[in-house]
Amino acid sequence: MTGKIVLGALAPHPPHLVYAENPPQNEPKAEGGWETLRWGYDKLRASLAKLDYDVIIVLSPHWRTYVGTHVLAHPHFKGLSVDPVFPHLFRYNYDLKVDVALAEALNAEAQKTGYPMKLMKNPDYRIDYGTIVSCHLANPKWDKPIVAISSHSSSAYFSPDVMQEEMLALAKITRAAIEKSGKKVVLLASNSLSHRHFTKEPPLPEDMSHEHIYNHSQYLWDMKLIELFKAGKSKEVFQLMPDFTEQAIGETDSGALSWLLATMNFPTKPAEVHAYGTVIGTGNAIVEWSLT
Amino acid sequence: MSAQNLVVKSFVLPGLPQPLLTPKANAGYARLRDAFEKVRAEIEASGADVILIYSTMWPSVLGHQVQCRELLEWTHVDEEFHDLGSIPYKLKMDGALGRAIVKNGEKRGLHMRPVDYHGFPVDTGSVVALKLINPDNRIPAVVLSSNMYADRAETVVLGKATLDALKEQNKKAVAIVISTLSNRLHQTFLDPKDDKIHSLKDQEWNLKMIEFFEKGRLEDLSQLSRQIQKEARVKKVNNFKPLWWLSTVSGPHNRYKGEVLAYEPVCGTGSAVVSLVPTEFASRDLEFDEDSPEVFAGERNVLGPSLNETRGMNSQTLNAGLEDEGLE
C-alpha cells in the first residue's frame, strides 16, 4: 500500500502553552493563560483523535543546524528538556519513540538526490523544545512515534529565497519516503507566524492583561496569511513566504511552514484555522489541513 | 584593588567541539587543542579567582542571562556535531558573583536574569572551553549569555556591571569570550582532513583581526565590530558583540601584549585562540570614535510617531518626538 499524508498542521511551539496546561511532565505550574490557543489545540487533538495514523513528522525551528539537515534516528529518547529562554516555564520530562525506519527512508531519499542530510543516532542527545512542545500539544499521550527534522539555517545563511528552494527539495524527499513507507502520516510545522516578541515579561508570565501582538504590521501580515489559508491558497502563501519572513520577522525562516505546504503538494482545499493568538507578542495560528 | 587589575588576562576561544572530541581528525584541530592547553597553563599561573565567560553560543532574548547554579552537571551533545560523541561534564560556577553581576546590571538599567536550574542547556562553547582550560574545576566560572537584540550600549554596560561585581567581591578574574572570528560553517558534510576557511573573504578578514590582536589593539578591534559583522559573520544576531564586552572588562584601550596561539579552520569557521595580557606599551589608538555609556537608558524610539515634525527637529533626546507629551 502506498503511504500518504492524512493531515498537516501548523502547530506552533510556545512553551507557555504547555506551562499553562500543567501536564505532569512539566515541573513549573501555572494559573492558566493563552486559552484561545490552547482551545485551538483542543480542536486539533479532536481531529487527530478521529484519524487513523501511524507516525508524526515534525520540523522544528529550535533544532537549528547549519551543516545540512538532520533527522532523529534513535528508537527511544528519555530526558529533561529545559527551555534556554524560558527555563522558569518549561522543564519537561519527555519519553518518546522515533520511527527509525521512516527516518532512514527519508535519509535514503535524500542521499539519492544529493541533498545534505545526516541521521542523529546519539542516544544522549537532548530533544529540542520546539519538537517536544508541538508534539505534546498535538498528542499529549505520546502514543505515536515521531520523526523529527532539523531546520537548516539557509534563510539566515543565504536568504529566504534559498530556503524556499531547499524546502521544495526536502518536501519531495519527504513525500517519496512517506509513499514508499506505506504509512499514514501526520505532518507538523512547529513555528509561529510573526515572531518579533517582547524582551521583558510580566512578573506573572500568565497575566493575560499584558498579552498582545508586538505591533500592528505583524498582525496585518498574520491575517493576510490566515486569509489565504482559509481560501485554500497555499501556493500563494508559499510565494509570499520570503516577503512575510523578512517583513513580519517570521519564524517561517525555519522553513517549517514552506516544507509543510510543499510536502502536502499545496492543498487547494480551505484550511481550518482553529485559533490565532499571541504569546509574548508573537503571532501564532493553529491551522489544520485534513487530507483524508 | 583598582579597576585596572581586576581582569588579569583575557582570551578569545572558539567554541566548536572538534578540538575536544576529535583533535586527531585534523592537524589544525590538534594545534587548537595545544593552544587550549597553553591557555589552561596561563590561567593556572594567573592567580585569578574566577573565570568570566561571555559566550556567543548562548543566545538569550529576554535580556542577559547569567549562570548562577553552583554545580552544572549533565551529558552534553552538540546539536550539529552529535556524531563526534557525548560530553559529560561537571562545571563549578561562582553563583555569588553571578548574582552580583545580575544585581549590578539591573542597577545600570539592564534586563538581567539569573539562571539556576538543573538541566539547563549550557552551550557547547562554554562546555568545550571549560573542559579544556579548567578540567579540574580549580577555578569557578561565571557564564554570561549574549543577548541577541543587544547592541553596543547594552553590551558595554554589561561589561561595566561585570566589573562592579568583581570590585564588590574583591575578586581577580580572567575574561574569556567564546567566539569564532568568521562564523560561516560549510553547508555540506566535509571530511575533517579537508577542512578550510569557508571563503577567501572570510580568510582575509580573519587575518586582519589577527593582525590587530597581535598588536594588542583590543579597543580598536572592538570599535570595528560593526564592520566585522557586515563582512565576516552570518547575520544570526544583530551585531558582533563579544569584543565590546571583552574590551570593557579588560580595559577599553590598546595596551595589551597580544598573542595568537592558534588560528585554524573548524568546519569552515575561523577558529583562533588569542591571549591578551595588559602591558604598559600602547599601540596607536586609531579607531576610537564610539562613546562609553555608564547606564542603559533603553531603546531609542526611532520608529515612534514623529510628533515633533511640526515643531522642528530635536534629535538630542532618547525618545525623539515624545518628550513633550509625557510619553517617555
Are residues B249 and B116 part of one domain?
Answer: yes
pLDDT of residue B238: 76
β-pair type (B112-115, B64-67): parallel
Nearby residues of B175 by Cβ (< 8 Å), 6 or more positions away? B7, B9, B10, B11, B52, B54, B246, B249, B250
Contacts of B299 (CB under 8 A, 6+ apart): none
What is the pLDDT, as a whole number, of residue B184?
93
> Is A122 in CB contact (< 8 Å) with chain B?
yes
Range B34-38 contact pairs with CB under 8 angstroms and sequence separation of 24 or more: B34/B262, B35/B261, B35/B262, B35/B273, B36/B129, B36/B132, B36/B133, B36/B273, B37/B132, B38/B261, B38/B273, B38/B275
pLDDT in tens, A2-27: 999 999 999 999 999 999 999 999 99
Instruction: Please check whether residues B259 and B302 belong to one and the same domain.
Output: no
pLDDT of residue B166 exceeding 60, the answer is yes
CA dihedral B165, B169, B170, B172 (to 10 degrees): -60
Q: Residue A217's pLDDT is what?
A: 95
Name the residue among B75, B186, B189 with its Cβ closest to that of A124.
B75
Quick one: B286 and B310 in the same domain? no
Three-class DSSP category at A57? strand
Which pLDDT score, from 0 to 100, does residue B319 have? Answer: 43
**pLDDT band at A157, cuts 50/70/90?**
confident
Question: For B58, which residue in chain A has the nearest alpha carbon?
Answer: A84
Q: What was the pLDDT predicted at B294?
A: 87
B304-to-A213, B310, B327 alpha-carbon distances in Å: 16, 15, 11
- Cβ-based neighbours of A200, under 8 Å, separated by 6 or more: B62, B63, B111
Q: What is the pLDDT of residue A271?
A: 98
Helices (H), A114-233: 129-138, 154-157, 160-181, 216-230
Nearest CB to B235; choose among A64, A156, A201:
A156
The pLDDT of residue B302 is 59
Residue B5 has a pLDDT of 79
Per-residue model confidence as pLDDT tens digits over A234-273: 999 999 999 999 999 999 999 999 999 999 999 999 999 9
What whole-number distance in Å separates Cα of residue B291 and Cα of residue B45? 34
Chains A–B, number of C-beta pairs less than 8 Å apart: 86
Nearest CB partner across the interface for A199, out of B111, B190, B234? B111
Closest CA to B112 of B168, B157, B53, B73: B157
Residue B189 to residue A200, Cβ atoms within 8 A: no
Q: Which of A71-75, A174-178, B158-162, B301-305 has the least mean pLDDT?
A: B301-305
pLDDT more than 90, % of chain B: 77
| Residue keyed to cell 558534510 | B189
Q: Across residues B68-83, what is the average pLDDT?
A: 98
Q: Does residue B1 carry a pLDDT above 70?
A: no
Q: What is the pLDDT of residue B323?
A: 39
Contact residues, chain A, for B58 at CB < 8 Å: 84
CA–CA gap between residue B290 and residue A81 (Å, rounded): 41
Mean pLDDT (chain A, rounded): 97
Residue B192 Rama label (left phi>0; alpha psi -120 to 50; beta): alpha
- What's the pLDDT at B300? 66
- pLDDT value, residue B3: 54
Same domain, B283 and B320: no
Distances (CA, A) of A20 to A16, A25, A36, B269, B317: 6, 12, 12, 41, 41
The per-residue pLDDT for B296 is: 87
**pLDDT of A30 higher than 60:** yes
pLDDT score at B299: 72
Residues B207, B141 share a domain: yes
- Same structural domain for residues B304 and B213? no
Same domain flag for B63 and B80: yes
Residues in chain A closer than 8 A to B184 (CB atoms): 157
Say yes or no to pLDDT of B282 above 80. no
Please report which residue ranges of chain A form alpha helices under DSSP H: 15-21, 35-49, 100-113, 129-138, 154-157, 160-181, 216-230, 234-247, 256-263
Backbone phi, then psi, for A111, in 5-degree steps?
-65, -35
Q: In chain B, whose CA is at the least distance from the CA of A82?
A: B120
Confidence band (pLDDT; 50, 70, 90) for B243?
Answer: very high
Number of domains comprising chain B: 2
In chain A, what are the domains? 4-290 (3.40.830.10)
B132, B64 Cβ separation under 8 angstroms: no
Residue in chain B nearest A119 by alpha carbon:
B83
Same domain, B116 and B201: yes
Judging contacts by C-beta atoms under 8 Å, the chain A residues touching residue B186 are 67
Q: What is the pLDDT of residue B280?
A: 83
Beta strand A76-82 pairing with A91-97: antiparallel
Q: Kindly report the average pLDDT of chain B as a whole number.
A: 89
Predicted confidence (pLDDT) at residue A122 exceeds the cutoff of 50: yes
Domain of B285? 3-291
d(CA B315, CA B313): 6
Whole-number Å distance between alpha carbons of A284 and A241: 16
Q: pLDDT per residue over B84-143, tens digit each?
A: 999 999 999 999 999 999 999 999 999 999 999 999 999 999 999 999 999 999 999 999
Q: Cβ separation of A66 and B111 shorter than 8 Å? A: no
Please count the CA atoms within 13 angstroms of the CA of B306 that sit on its side-chain side. 7
Closest alpha carbon within chain B to A280: B62
Minimum mean pLDDT range among A230-234, B44-48, B221-225? B221-225
Q: Are residues B287 and B302 both part of a single domain?
A: no
Under 8 Å between Cβ of B54 and B32:
no
Dig out the grid coordinates for A82 from the structure.
Answer: 529545559
Domain with B261 in it: what CATH number? 3.40.830.10
User: For position B306, what pLDDT does the model report?
Assistant: 52
- At B315, the pLDDT band (50, 70, 90 cuts) reads very low
Give yes or no for residue B257 having a pLDDT over 50: yes
C-alpha cell at A258: 514552506
Residue B291 has pLDDT above 80, yes or no: no
Q: How far is CA A148 from the centre of its chain?
A: 10
Q: How far from A276 is each of A127, A187, A286, CA to CA, in Å?
A: 26, 19, 7
- Could you tell me whether strands B7-13 and B71-76 are parallel, antiparallel, or unpaired per DSSP bridges? unpaired
CB contact under 8 A, A199 and B149: yes
B231 and B308 part of one domain: no
Average pLDDT over residues B4-11: 90
Q: What is the pLDDT of residues B152-161, one digit of tens each?
A: 999 999 999 9
Same domain, B259 and B303: no
Using an 8 Å CB-CB cutoff, list chain A residues near B109.
none
Q: Which residues in chain B have Cβ-Cβ distances shorter than 8 Å to A82?
A: 117-121
Q: Are residues B262 and B311 in the same domain?
A: no
| Radius of gyration over every alpha carbon of chain A, rounded to an integer in angstroms | 18
A81 contacts in B (CB within 8 Å)?
Answer: 119
- Give me the pLDDT at residue A156, please: 85
Three cell numbers, residue A58: 515534525
Give the per-residue pLDDT at B239: 84
pLDDT of residue B4: 60
Distance of CA B250 to the CA centre of its chain: 12
Give me the mean pLDDT over the A90-104 stretch: 98
Q: Of the given ranges (A155-164, B87-96, B226-235), which has the lowest mean pLDDT?
A: B226-235
State residue A6 phi and psi, 5-degree precision: -100, -25
